[in-house]
Chain A
Amino acid sequence: MLAGDRGPAAQMAMSILVRMARVYGAAELMDISGAHIDSTIYIGEAGLEYAERLASLGAKVAVPTTLNVSGLDEQHWQEWPVPRDWAGKAHRQMIAYQSMGAIPTWTCAPYQTEWRPAFGQQIAWGESNAIVFANSVLGARTERYPDLLDICCAITGRVPAVGLHLTENRAGQVLFRLIDVPQAIQADDTFYPVFGHLVGRIAQDRIPVIDGLTVAPAEDQLKSFGAATASSGAVALFHMIGVTPEAPTIQAAFQGRPPGQIVNVTMDDLRQARRELSTSEGQQLDMVVLGSPHFSLAEFGQLAPLLEGRGVHAGVQFLVTTSRGMAQLAKAAGHLDPLQRFGGRLTVDTCILATPMLPPNIKVLMTNSAKYAYYSPGLLGTTVAFGSLQDCIDSAVTGYIVRDDSLWR
């Protein structure tokens, strides 16, 4: 490929891959059987030039490849103040990646599509929350592939044989023990983003192992936990004893080695982490936003009945972000009508962090997502209040931020 026998695009991709293999210290490359491309997000001219360079050289993906969120909701962007120039460029970037033969999933939750990887499958995934879910919850194997490299792996079908692709590098490194955390807290959806935020902050780029859970978390709870660890830290793999597939026991999770660090997690630590997720003071509220990572069918199913008979306050926007495919499933299941009657809106294929859709008068957001809470202040210049799904709905109806803290006292 380096010599150009598979065309100039594969040659360019392989030349980048080979230089990166040296950076990684890889002795060799290995085959993959799937990829997920984060480079789809339109950031600016350089990323577009890169995508169109590859596309114009005739790039084609060599393995089944899903696409992350785009920079444009093709269906709804004109309902928002998205600049026309941005829309045009973001759309060109979508076209460039689609032209390489990738599947237009346009979601940051590709693990909740039919392209969900299998246990042990070697893949090259971008998008931090998708990486941590694939490694941890599914037991597939991917490194933290950055934007721009993910597509090189997809085009060549190869990755450097290093890091989390190899069994010996998947052992736990730091043990988090839940100490006297009540079952009622552990069963609550809000526990997972809060705990994940704490774990990411402490674990940073290490592999955390969680012990002491007394409940069986739902898939969407693990999704929000992982997304939080990959926002406040650089976690690419976690093990949860008795929950995730490579962690039936502590010994298995650490591959028989001793933990490098043991962290005891108390309710005080969790309360502190929960406070850290909010930057707003006071009760002003402009918008509630749900769906980072993208809302799943189960989450729509949870949301819909909570909206029945209620309506969003005139001064507040209520938005759910998901993929076009998941929106169709939610519609078929009857979950979108309650959202519409409530006065809520839907954005597909992108999210508020990836497309400039928010009107300038939106200054205070509320969300149940640690990822939205973590990134909104820096990316959007808003303040943010973190709360439960019920808090978010109650606040949207009331018109100002209300939170039920009874569980967390």
Chain B
Amino acid sequence: MRNNQEATIQLTATPIIPGAAAGRALVSNEPLSFWGGYDYRTGEITDRRHPLSGQIAAGCVLCVPFSRGSSTTTAVLLEAVRTGAAPAAIITTGVDSFFALASVVADVMYGKPVLVVALSPADFARLRSGDWIEIDEAGQVTVETEREGNDPSHR
């Protein structure tokens, strides 16, 4: 029995660090600290209290409302850029200065900024893990979904 709904959603984001990127979505409503929460060698989310614990975010579009806690999050994200284990892009619900700063310094040091955009909370809530997300320079977000009923990976 197949009951898939394939759909394309167009959303408009605010580019914080503009650029173009695409990848598989990893989505959680729980904020994430990269310090103690992200292995910069592998891209694994290692915060064992986080719903995305154990997922590999390298090359993905990581969608979390904002960064939590420690101000070392930026340093860990910069290391991840250097090793190639950073997310392709990060989508938040507001201006997250920690993610933005890591991206600016990654640009200054390595010429490799991480794309960071912000969606409204209502639009953010439409994203699901497993969606294919493309983001363009203007902040247009194209979401390709394929859903079978409720997605248990989403919280």
Contact = CB atoms under 8 A, between A and B. Distances in A.
A55 B27 CA distance: 39
Contact of B97 (A41, A50, A131, A146): A146
Contacts of B46: 378-379
Given A46-B78, A379-B35, A379-B36, A144 B104 contact: no
B95 A23 contact: yes
Given A23-B16, A230-B69, A234-B69, A149 B48 contact: no
Contact of B31 (A15, A43, A150, A204): A204
Contact of A49 (B71, B83, B109): B109
Given A23-B100, A128-B71, A234-B69, A12 B108 contact: yes
B2 interface: no
Contact of B79 (A38, A43, A128, A144): A43
A233 interface: yes
Contact of A231 (B70, B75, B108): B70
B72 A234 contact: no
B16 A205 contact: no
Contact of B48 (A23, A146, A378): A378
A377 interface: yes
Interface residues of B, number: 38
A53 interface: yes
B20 interface: no
B95 A38 contact: no
A404 interface: no
A41 B75 contact: yes
A46 B48 contact: no
B154 interface: no
A229 B32 CA distance: 14
Given A128-B71, A279-B48, A43 B108 contact: no
Contacts of B124: none
A31 interface: no
A147 B72 contact: yes
B95 A378 contact: no
Interface string A371-409: 000110111000000000000000000000000000000
Contacts of B82: 44-46, 49
B35 A375 contact: yes
Contact of B75 (A25, A147, A379): A147
A205 B93 CA distance: 12
Contacts of A234: 31, 66-69
Contact of B95 (A25, A150, A233): A25
Residue from the set B67, B98, B105, B110 with the largest chain A CB neighbour count within 10 Å: B105
Contacts of B95: 23-25
Nearest to B78: A46
A300 B24 CA distance: 50
A232 interface: yes
A145 interface: yes
A25 B74 CA distance: 19
A132 to B, nearest CB: 11
B36 A375 contact: yes
A47 interface: yes
B75 to A, nearest CB: 4
Interface of A: 12, 15-16, 19-20, 23-25, 38-39, 41, 43-47, 49-50, 53, 126-128, 131, 143-150, 204-205, 230-234, 279, 353, 374-375, 377-379
17 contacts: A23-B97, A44-B83, A45-B82, A46-B110, A47-B79, A50-B109, A126-B71, A127-B71, A131-B71, A146-B74, A146-B97, A148-B101, A205-B31, A231-B69, A279-B48, A377-B48, A379-B35
Given A44-B83, A46-B75, A378-B48, 5 more contacts: A20-B100, A46-B109, A146-B97, A148-B74, A375-B36
The 8 closest A-B pairs by CB, nearest first: A378-B36, A146-B74, A44-B79, A147-B75, A46-B82, A379-B36, A375-B36, A23-B100
